[in-house]
C-alpha cells in the first residue's frame, strides 16, 4: 500500500501540482514542502472558490492535515506571516497546524533588492525571476552565510550576523548596482516582530517526519517549480536555485530515500514557461493565444503572461528518468478541446545536419541548434471537462493519451479534466486507494 507520495513537476512549473496535492491530501497526515520559497504559486479551486498559495503547502483546505516546511525551503518571515493572515481572513486557520523546520534559511530584504537589481541590470543575464530573492538566499546557503530561523532565538548573535550581511549586500547594491542601501535597523526589528509570531511553529522536522513514517503516517511531498527549473537538471542558467527534482526531498526534509513509496510526475498536455530560456516547442501563433486564453496561462505569483508550446515528450522522458517517476498525472486535458490538431514533440534534429539528436542539450548552442519533430493528432473538438472515466473520453482523446503512455513507457495513473477537485480520472486503483484510505 502506498503511504507516501512525492508530487513533482515535469516541466517548467505551473503543471497543476496544487490541485493534485489538494486532491491527495484528503486523508493524509502531513504535506511537506522541501524546496523553493514564495516564488511558487499553487492554485486550488474548490466549489468555484480560488485559493492561491505561495509558500504554505496545498493541504490548507483540510483541517486534519498538517503543513510542513522542511529545511530546504527558503522563507521570508514577512511574507510567511502575510500568507498566514491572508488564509485567516478567508477563515482558514493554519497557525496551529503549520510546522517550520528549525534550520530553514531566511530571505531578507537585501536578497530581494539584489534579485531585482540584477534583473534590471543590462549587463546581467536576465533570467526573468519572480523577484522574491530566491537566488541570493540560496547563494548565501551555499556560501555559508545564511541566517537560519533558529539564529533569531539569540538576538545578540542575530544582530551580529545580520550586520555583517547587511554590510556585504549594501556594498554590492550601492557600489555596483547604484541602488539604495537597505536598513539594518528596520530588518532587525521587523524580523524579530515576525519571528515572535511564528516561533512556536519551529521544530526538528527531520526528527518529526522520521518518527511519523515509523508510525505509518501518510505523507505527501509537494514539489514547487518543475524539474526543468532544477538547478542541476534544468535548462541552466535559466532555472530556479533549488533542486526541484527528487533529490530536493532528501536534502530538504532530512528523510532517507527509502521513505518515498511512489513518485508522481505531473505534466500538462501542453507546455508553458514563465521567464527566459530555451523552449524548443514554443508557439507564437493563434494556438499560443488560444492556450493562454483557455488555459488561463498567467502567472499566479507575478501575473506575467506565460509562454506556451506543444507537449515535449523528449524532455518529459528525460525528466521521468532523472526523477525515477512511478506514474504520471496529465493535467489540463480539457484545454485542448477545441483545437483542430494537436502536436507532440517526439524527437529533436540538428538544424544544420538534420540528423536526430540523441543527447540532452546542455549549452546555449546545443539548445539553439535543435528543431523539434512532431507527431500530429486530429483534435477531438468536444468538451471533455469534468469526465471522470477514461472510457467516456472521445476515441480520439483516448488515442492521444495511449500514444503518450506508449512513448514514455510508464503508467499514466491520473488525468485532470478540469480545475475542480472532482474533475479527475483515476485510471486505476493505485491512487484512488491512497486518497480514500483513512489512517
224 part of the interface to ligand IMP, by CB under 6 A: yes
Sheet with 424-426, strands from edge to edge, namely: 202-203, 98-101, 66-69, 30-33, 219-222, 4-9, 262-268, 327-331, 412-416, 424-426
CB of 322 to ligand IMP, least distance (A): 18
Strand extents, DSSP E, 103-160: 105-106
Q: Least distance from C-beta 222 to ligand IMP, angstroms?
A: 12
b/e per residue 62-84 (b: at least 16 CB within 10 A): beebbbbbbbbbbbbbbbbbebb
- The one segment of 12-20, 87-95, 156-164, 357-365 that binds ligand IMP by CB under 6 A: 12-20
Q: Residue 14 interacts with ligand IMP (CB under 6 A)?
A: yes
Single residue of 198, 213, 229, 316 touching ligand IMP by CB under 6 A: 229
Per CB under 6 A, 240 contacts ligand IMP: yes
Residue 39 found at the interface with ligand IMP (CB under 6 A) = yes
* Binding flag, residue 241, ligand IMP (CB under 6 A): yes
Binding part of the chain for ligand IMP, among 33-41, 86-94, 156-164, 414-422 by CB under 6 A, reads 33-41
42 an active-site residue? Answer: yes
Cell of 111: 536578497
Which segments of 255-305 are extended strands (E)?
262-268, 270-273
Q: How far apart are CA 299 and CA 265, in angstroms?
A: 21
Q: Using CB under 6 A, which of the segments 6-14, 259-267, 331-339, 410-418 binds ligand IMP?
A: 6-14
Q: Is 225 in the site for ligand IMP (CB under 6 A)?
A: yes
> 307: helix, coil or strand?
strand
Q: What is the maximal distance between C-alpha atoms in the chain?
A: 68
Minimum gap (Å) between residue 224 Cβ and ligand IMP: 6
Q: Which residues contact 278 (CB under 8 A, 6 or more apart)?
A: 235, 238, 361, 364, 367
Size of interface with ligand IMP, in residues (CB under 6 A): 20
Element (H, E) at 317: helix 313-323
120-139: contacts with ligand IMP (CB under 6 A):
127-130, 132, 134-135
Residue 41 interacting with ligand IMP (CB under 6 A): yes
Shortest Å, Cβ 241 to ligand IMP: 6
Least CB distance from residue 383 to ligand IMP, whole Å? Answer: 28
Q: Is 167 marked active-site? A: no
Distances (CA, A) of 195 to 84, 199, 201: 13, 6, 10
Task: Please choose, out of 8-16, 23-31, 352-360, 377-385, the segment that lies near ligand IMP by the rule CB under 6 A.
Answer: 8-16
How far is residue 32's CA from residue 199's CA, in Å, rounded to a whole number?
18
Member of 59, 266, 274, 431 binding ligand IMP (CB under 6 A): 274
Sheet bearing 341-350, strands edge to edge = 270-273, 307-312, 341-350, 370-378
What CA–CA distance (Å, rounded) separates 34 from 232? Answer: 16
**Residue 386 backbone dihedrals phi, psi, to 5 degrees:** 85, 0
CB of 295 to ligand IMP, least distance (A): 14
Alpha helices in 272-312 (DSSP H): 286-294
Q: Is 40 in the site for ligand IMP (CB under 6 A)?
A: yes
**Interacting span for ligand IMP (CB under 6 A) from 104-112, 153-161, 223-231, 422-430:** 223-231
Distance CA 178, CA 186 (A): 21
Active-site hit among 42, 54, 111, 288: 42
Asked if 243 is part of the footprint of ligand IMP (rule: CB under 6 A), the reply reads no
Residues in touch with ligand IMP (CB under 6 A): 12-14, 39-41, 127-130, 132, 134-135, 224-225, 229, 240-241, 274-275
Residues recognised as catalytic: 14, 42
Amino acid at each position: 500500500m502506498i503511504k507516501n507520495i512525492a508530487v513533482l513537476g515535469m516541466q517548467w512549473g505551473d503543471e497543476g501540482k496544487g490541485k493534485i496535492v489538494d486532491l491527495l491530501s484528503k486523508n493524509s497526515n502531513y504535506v511537506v514542502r522541501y524546496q523553493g520559497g514564495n516564488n511558487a504559486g499553487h492554485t486550488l479551486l474548490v466549489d468555484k472558490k480560488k485559493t492561491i498559495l505561495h509558500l504554505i503547502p496545498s493541504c490548507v483546505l483540510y483541517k486534519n492535515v498538517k503543513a510542513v516546511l522542511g529545511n530546504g525551503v527558503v522563507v521570508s518571515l514577512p511574507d510567511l506571516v502575510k500568507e498566514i493572515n491572508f488564509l485567516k481572513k478567508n477563515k482558514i486557520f493554519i497557525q496551529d497546524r503549520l510546522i517550520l523546520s528549525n534550520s530553514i534559511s531566511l530571505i531578507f530584504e537585501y536578497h530581494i533588492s539584489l534579485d531585482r537589481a540584477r534583473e534590471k541590470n543590462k549587463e546581467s543575464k536576465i533570467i526573468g525571476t519572480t523577484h522574491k530573492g530566491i537566488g541570493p538566499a540560496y547563494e548565501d546557503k551555499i556560501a555559508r552565510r545564511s541566517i537560519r530561523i533558529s539564529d533569531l532565538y539569540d538576538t545578540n548573535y542575530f544582530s551580529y550576523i545580520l550586520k555583517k550581511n547587511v554590510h556585504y549586500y549594501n556594498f554590492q547594491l550601492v557600489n555596483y548596482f547604484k541602488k539604495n542601501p537597505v536598513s539594518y535597523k528596520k530588518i532587525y526589528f521587523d524580523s524579530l516582530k515576525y519571528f515572535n509570531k511564528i516561533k512556536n511553529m519551529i521544530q526538528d522536522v527531520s526528527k518529526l517526519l522520521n518518527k511519523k513514517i515509523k508510525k505509518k503516517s501518510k505523507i505527501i511531498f509537494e514539489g514547487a517549480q518543475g524539474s526543468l527549473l532544477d538547478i542541476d537538471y534544468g535548462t541552466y542558467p535559466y532555472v530556479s536555485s533549488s533542486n526541484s527534482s527528487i533529490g530536493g526531498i532528501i536534502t530538504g526534509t532530512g528523510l532517507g530515500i527509502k521513505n518515498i513509496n511512489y513518485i508522481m510526475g505531473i505534466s500538462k498536455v501542453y507546455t508553458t514557461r514563465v521567464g527566459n530560456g530555451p523552449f524548443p516547442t514554443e508557439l507564437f501563433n493563434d494556438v499560443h493565444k488560444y492556450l493562454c486564453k483557455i488555459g488561463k496561462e498567467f502567472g499566479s505569483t507575478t501575473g506575467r503572461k506565460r509562454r506556451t508550446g506543444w507537449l515535449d515528450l523528449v524532455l518529459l522522458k528525460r525528466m521521468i528518468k532523472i526523477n525515477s517517476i512511478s506514474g504520471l498525472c496529465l493535467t489540463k486535458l480539457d484545454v485542448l478541446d477545441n483545437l483542430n490538431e494537436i502536436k507532440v514533440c517526439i524527437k529533436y534534429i540538428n538544424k544544420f545536419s538534420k540528423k536526430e539528436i540523441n543527447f540532452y542539450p546542455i549549452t546555449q548552442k546545443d539548445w539553439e541548434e535543435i528543431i523539434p519533430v512532431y507527431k500530429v493528432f486530429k483534435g477531438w473538438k468536444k468538451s471533455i471537462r469534468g469526465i471522470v472515466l477514461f472510457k467516456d473520453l472521445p476515441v480520439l482523446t483516448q488515442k492521444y493519451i495511449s500514444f503518450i503512455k506508449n512513448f514514455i513507457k510508464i503508467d499514466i495513473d491520473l488525468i485532470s479534466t478540469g480545475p475542480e477537485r472532482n474533475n479527475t480520472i483515476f485510471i486505476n486503483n493505485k491512487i484512488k486507494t491512497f486518497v480514500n484510505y483513512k489512517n
